[in-house]
Every structure is written in C-alpha cells, then in structure tokens.
Structure 1
Amino acid sequence: METEATYRGTVYPWQCDHVGHMNIMWYVGKFDEANWNLFARIGLTPTYLRQSNRGMAAVQQNITYRREMLAGDIVEIKSTLLEIRDKSIRYRHEMRNGETGEVAAVCEITGVHVDREARKSAAFPDTIRKLAQAQLAIAEPA
C-alpha cells in the first residue's frame, strides 16, 4: 500500500560518527519519529493515548542497513502496516535517501498496546483495529 511519508528530515553533521556517516542511534531516532506519524493514521494519536491512559511499547525491532546516510542527505521514511492482532501490531519502515531514492535502511517493528496504569498489554479498541485493517499491506503473489 503506497502511503505518504511518515518522516522527512535531513542528516546533520553532528549526527555523524567517526566514520563520517549517520550514527545508528539516529537511524533508530528517525524510525521512532515515523512510528508516531504511522500510529496517528490509525487513531493512536497523542490525545487518544493520554485520554485512555494507553501507550505503545516496542517488543522487537530488526534493522537492516543498506546504504550510508551522510551529512546533508535528505531522509524520507515510508511505513507499511503488516499485521494487526488483538494487542499487537507489526509494521515496516523504509528509509530512503530523498534525493537519490536509494534505500538506506529497513526497520521492522512489533509493538504492543499497553495499559499504562496496569502496566500490561491491552486490546486495541475496535475503531483502531478497523482503521489499521483497512491500511494493511496487501500480500504480493509469490
């Protein structure tokens, strides 16, 4: 499913390490910012999270690095929902160089919807589950 970017930004020189490319902590940070834009699209907005005393917790994150991002590069992330379950969601971020279109990194995350007071997982409301299901990626034929 083609979507608008969930994150746009740039690589600043102070985000680069001694090798001269963006340090891995900044890849994670930019993917994290994309999380919140993706979540808002399915109703997991800051207002919902505050008013319902809910939150999201990442329980698994796998990153594949494919190309360097250098100071001054434009960063664009697009996100795809892969799966929604009763209490968890799985999604994929693809980070590209906004100028060249080359894929720099791919991140797949599993997140859990949590009750912040009880400190345990909680089922998604039907409204959020339905919004997410409508945006799930369509599996391509093998």
Structure 2
Amino acid sequence: METEATYRGAVYPWQCDHVGHMNIMWYAGKFDEANWNLFARLGLTPSYLRQSGRGMAAVQQNITYRRELLPGDIVEIKSRLLEVHDKSIRFLHEMRNAETGEVAATCEITGVHMDRDARKAAPFTEAIRGAAMKQLASSQPATA
C-alpha cells in the first residue's frame, strides 16, 4: 500500500457549515485534490494529459462520513488502488484527522481514462497500466 499522503491540508472556518463542521462540498474537493496526486504517481500527469489529448473522468463516487472535522483540524488523505482495467481504475481514499489518526471519511471512485476529442473511454498506455499494476500489487495484503 502506498504510504505517502496524496493530500495534506487544514480545515478553515469558511469551509464549515451552520453546524460548525466541514461542509460536504469540501470533503469532495479535498478528495479531488488527492485524485490528481494519485494519478501523477501512475504517470497521469498534467503534462501527459495535455500532450496526449487524454483525460480522467469520474463515473462513480461513494463517500462515507465517519467523524466530523472542525475548523483548525489537520487533514491527511492516503490512497490506494483497488482495481485496474484496460480503460478504468477503481481506488479508495481514506481521509484522517492527522492529529488524532481517526478516519473522518472514505471515498471510493471509479475513474475512466478518456479521449477528450472523441469523448469516449480509451485504453491506458502500457507505461501507465504497468505503473498502476505495480501499485495495485503493492497494496494487496500478503497471503500466507
């Protein structure tokens, strides 16, 4: 499993709602920032996406909220791949309160690699697929 964080940040007072905790729109935003760091580790860098005419599109996203985050809390997200296919990946983000270690939320996403001109799914390059398969293998539990 990848141990380096894909996102680090803080909860600002203006990100909180009338109840006093971080509003759901900011969870989605922080998970989105983690997406781009995870993608870059696979070779889906901004340069690659611009130069190749490719993009990534989320086709399914499921967020589970476990603990509230309050103004001033430090947030850390770690991410791991769950599945790799020819044109799509499924991955999981785990958001924690970095001070307490408590899981605040998880987000499972299916993302599709797409041709931006044709507006349809496109296969990953061999290099990207290889990097994804390597990360997938490292995130699987060892079997005895």
Q: TM-score, normalised by structure 1?
A: 0.97
Structure 1 residue ranges, 4+ long, deviating more than 6 angstroms after superposition: none
The alpha-carbon deviation at position 104 of structure 1 amounts to 0.1
Q: Unpaired segments of 5 or more residues in structure 1?
A: none
- Residue 84 of structure 1 aligns with which residue? 84
CA distance in 1, matches of 2:3, 2:87: 24
Instruction: Give the structure 2 partner of residue 95 of structure 1.
Output: 95
CA distance in 2, matches of 1:38, 1:2: 10
Q: SS where residue 40 of structure 2 aligns?
A: helix
1:1-142 to 2 correspondence within 5 Å? Answer: 1-136=1-136, 137-139=139-141
Deviations 1:44-97 (A, max 9, x none): 000000000000000000010000000000000000011110000000000000
Q: 2:108 & 2:119 partners in 1: Cα distance?
A: 24
- Distance, in Å, in 1 between the alignment partners of 2:107 and 2:14 is 23
Shift of residue 29 of structure 1?
Answer: 0.1
Distance 1:139 1:59 in 2: 27
The gaps in structure 2 that reach 5 residues or longer are none
Q: Is the 8 A contact 2:3 2:78 kept in 1?
A: yes
* Bigger mean CA deviation after superposition, 130-139 or 12-21: 130-139
In structure 2, C-alpha distance between the alignment counterparts of 1:17 and 1:119, rounded to whole Å: 36
Indicate the RMSD between aligned Cα atoms, in angstroms.
0.9
Q: Secondary structure at the match of 1:95?
A: strand
Aligned AA (2:43): G
- 1:9 is displaced (CA, Å) by 0.1
- Cα distance in 1, alignment partners of residues 128 and 2 from structure 2: 20
Q: Offset of 1:2 from its aligned partner?
A: 3.7
Tell me the distance in 2 between the aligned counterparts of 1:85 and 1:100: 36
Question: With structure 2 as the length reference, what TM-score do the two structures score?
Answer: 0.96
> What is the SS of the residue equivalent to 1:135?
helix
